[in-house]
Amino acid sequence: MSHMIDHPLRQSSANELHARPFPTVAAPARAAFFAYKCADDETGRDEVADRAHLWRLLDMYDVAHPDGEATHFFGQLGSVWVKWECHTEFVSYTAILDDLGNVPFDGSEFDIFPAEWLADLPGLTLSSTSLRIEPDLETESIKGKLSDWFVSESLAVSRVLDNAAVIAGDYRMDGNGHLRFAVFVPPSTGRRRVGRIVQRLNEIEVYKTMSMLGLIRARALSLQLNLIDADMSELVAALADDQISAEDNLHALLRLSAKLEHHSARVAYRFAASKAYSAILAQRIEVLRERQFEGRQTFREFMMRRFDPAMRTVQALDARLQDLIARAIRTGDLLRTRVDVERQGQSQELLTSMNLRADVQLQLQKTVEGLSVVAISYYATGLVLYVLAPVAAMFDLPKGILTACVVPVVVGLVYLALRRIRRHMPR
């Protein structure tokens, strides 16, 4: 067998598919999950700061550090399993405890993360959830717990993965600032499947939150677009007003176009990210294969009622922004056409004026030439008379007759000479 040379990225690309394994969770258990995002960076993270903060947590529990370029860690800190993941825009931590604690959803599952360490996170918290995994599939028992733990009006409940579990949550923050989810599983559901369900719930929550960032940006953009839309409408209406210069309108349009491009540059990434995150969210819900539990709304139905309208708002604002940019381009074409027409009219007027001046100059030139003939003839006649005076005296010819004879000849010769000179002048 011949030796093949691997592409330098072959190993890393193959390993990437297995870089984030699902946790294994056995009921009864609790889980704490939170994700944070750098507030100052729109499109990324400070990877050095994120890893340094994880190293600090590991040092508190005397746990060895993973590889210096790691984007994933799953290990035991004391008696708690902790999972750390780096994503494009955010970092997430999941802590898994193998007990149910004393009081449901009291927030004690977050105690694995020291308060001073949480206060120094290199970013701002996006989402935090408390999960409770119980070995229970008795319908009446589950209904009683749901009534005690969640707000009925917004509660979403469903059977998932072919009745492998019942999941529930109301997407409301509790007194500790966490969202609460419950997972009820029978003994037949394996630990890996429970781990996948827990991770899917956390992913649904964080991707929902990341998608909603686009809605916040869209609402702020809507006010700006309202102002630009009004200015654009006034500018288009002014196209029919001959009292306003097209060039002035064009300059105003350029200012509006600059604002639109500025807004587009600021929101393009966030709107595209919201679209991508919402698609991932839909896929995460799809793989749960939900079925209704006692007529309650499923997670898909909850998202359809509460989340999908928000995403449609983002899409509508994005479409409106692109429409305004397209309108600005069309209006710019109209204004440039009008400016060209105005300039052509000005050029035509200038040419007409130049033709008139040329005609006047020609008339003046002819007049000057006529006067020149007279002036030159006058001086030439005087010279000729001086020259012919002795001859006139010899023949006793009166000066008047001599002058009458000389003048026509001199004038004719001067006229012919000037005409010859003008004919040979470059035109």
In the block, residue with structure tokens 């340094």: 52
- Distance between CA atoms of residues 309 and 312, nearest Å: 5
Count structural domains, the chain.
3
Asked if 133 contacts 118 with a C-beta cutoff of 8 angstroms, the reply is no
- Same domain? For 373 and 341 the reply is no
- Same domain? For 219 and 171 the reply is no
With respect to residue 286, please indicate whether it lies within any of the assigned structural domains.
yes
- Distance between CA atoms of residues 103 and 123, nearest Å: 30
Of the candidates 318, 349, 380, which is a domain's last residue? 349
- Same domain? For 60 and 134 the reply is yes
Q: What is the pLDDT of residue 170?
A: 95
- Same domain? For 380 and 344 the reply is no
- Same domain? For 248 and 166 the reply is no
pLDDT tens profile 141-162: 999 999 999 999 999 999 999 9
- Distance between CA atoms of residues 97 and 300, nearest Å: 28
With respect to residue 309, please indicate whether it lies within any of the assigned structural domains.
yes
With respect to residue 308, please indicate whether it lies within any of the assigned structural domains.
yes
With respect to residue 117, please indicate whether it lies within any of the assigned structural domains.
yes
In the block, residue with structure tokens 């694995």: 112
With respect to residue 363, please indicate whether it lies within any of the assigned structural domains.
no
- Same domain? For 83 and 113 the reply is yes
- Same domain? For 237 and 128 the reply is no
Q: Which residue positions in the chain have pLDDT lower than 50?
A: 1
- Same domain? For 41 and 85 the reply is yes
- Same domain? For 406 and 299 the reply is no
φ and ψ at 41, to 5 degrees?
-115, 120
With respect to residue 146, please indicate whether it lies within any of the assigned structural domains.
yes
What secondary structure, in 3-state letters, does 298-351 show? CHHHHHHHHHHHHHHHHHHHHHHHHHHHHHHHHHHHHHHHHHHHHHHHHHHHHH
The boundaries of the domain holding residue 55 are: 21-186
Q: What is the pLDDT of residue 17?
A: 54
With respect to residue 362, please indicate whether it lies within any of the assigned structural domains.
no
- Same domain? For 44 and 123 the reply is yes
Q: Which helix (H) or strand (E) holds 197?
A: helix 191-237
CA 90: distance to chain centroid?
Answer: 20
Q: What is the pLDDT of residue 1?
A: 45
Q: What is the pLDDT of residue 106?
A: 94
- Same domain? For 331 and 372 the reply is no
- Same domain? For 268 and 397 the reply is no
With respect to residue 194, please indicate whether it lies within any of the assigned structural domains.
no
